[in-house]
Amino acid sequence: MKILAGNWKMNTTFEEGYNLIEALKTELSPERLGDVVVVLAPPVVQLTQAIDLLIDYPEMAVAAQNGHAKDSGAYTGEVSMAQLADAGADAVLIGHSERRQYFGETDQDVNAKVHAALNHELRPIVCIGEVLEERKSGDHLAIVEKQLRAAVAGVTPDLAENLVLAYEPVWAIGTGETATAAQAQEMHAHLRGVLRDLYGDLADHLPILYGGSCKPSNGAELFAQPDVNGGLIGGASLVAADFIALVDQLQKA
């Protein structure tokens, strides 16, 4: 499965979100998408708008950017996986580097959210990745493997078939450093090997997305790598022409 996911983060008004989705719907016909599945992750206040706009476009799914592990309770400001599923969301981002960095999410938090998402038939897009110091230490493969194993602890093979991974080289986002396609492939291949250790042949069918400053200028090279099955796109997902260009690159890969 090839997936191009757009994480809008804390951007776009209702009108901007509406216009962006309408632009994508106009250009991205089922024929143009081919075997690429598009996932859009707007701000939570726009989730139902996105769901309504895409109700007749099964090739384009809607994800939340976050969800709470508890189904309900006194957690002011949070939204549960149960509520996201009830609203009609298809998927949810879990463990994004910004959630870990700014909101203190731990591997244990990520694991609890993965289980909660699966319990409510939401597809978890599980984000893992190392920071610059960890990359320079040479321990990056072991560090990201540890994150992956912790994230999916207790997830049985029958549920694991719903997993999507997103590798974020945090060190290559806004640092001036650049991740090469070869570096992306090295990590993706390693993660696929960990999944194979955990789930056997199922690992060959689980999408591993690249989430480190992917844009039209480097998308084709990244998507050409054998273990890169798509992208988790930030800034480029806010510009319809850029996101559409990435869809075309992934479709041809």
Query: Residue for token digits 């890969």?
Result: 253
Q: In percent, how much of the chain has pLDDT > 90?
A: 94
Which of 96, 120, 140, 190 is the catalytic position? 96
- The predicted-structure confidence for 196-241, as pLDDT tens digits, reads as follows 999 999 999 999 999 988 999 999 999 999 999 999 999 999 999 9
Distance from the Cα of residue 3 to its chain's centroid = 9
Q: How many domains does the chain have?
A: 1
- The HSE-up count of residue 204 (CA atoms within 13 Å, CB side) is 2
Burial of residue 37, with CB atoms counted within 10 A of its CB: 0-12 exposed, 13-18 middle, 19 or more buried: buried
Q: How confident is the model at residue 189 (pLDDT cuts 50, 70, 90)?
A: very high
Q: How confident is the model at residue 96 (pLDDT cuts 50, 70, 90)?
A: very high
Q: Is the pLDDT of residue 98 over 80?
A: yes
Contact 243, 237 (CB under 8 A): yes
CATH number at residue 12: 3.20.20.70
- The predicted-structure confidence for 61-85, as pLDDT tens digits, reads as follows 999 999 999 999 999 999 999 999 9
Q: What is the pLDDT of residue 232?
A: 97
Domain that holds residue 184: 2-252
The answer to whether residue 96 is catalytic is: yes
Contact 75, 115 (CB under 8 A): no
Which tokens go with 74? 């006194």
Burial of residue 177, with CB atoms counted within 10 A of its CB: 0-12 exposed, 13-18 middle, 19 or more buried: middle
Q: What is the pLDDT of residue 151?
A: 98
Which of 68, 168, 188, 190 is the catalytic position? 168
Q: Is the pLDDT of residue 174 over 70?
A: no
Q: How confident is the model at residue 124 (pLDDT cuts 50, 70, 90)?
A: very high
The answer to whether the predicted template modeling score (pTM) of the entire model surpasses 0.95 is: yes
E strands, the chain, in order: 2-7, 36-41, 60-64, 91-94, 123-128, 164-167, 208-210, 230-233
**Residue 132, Cβ neighbours under 10 Å: how many?**
16
Q: Residue 71 to residues 37, 41, 83, 87: CA-CA distances in angstroms?
A: 28, 21, 8, 14
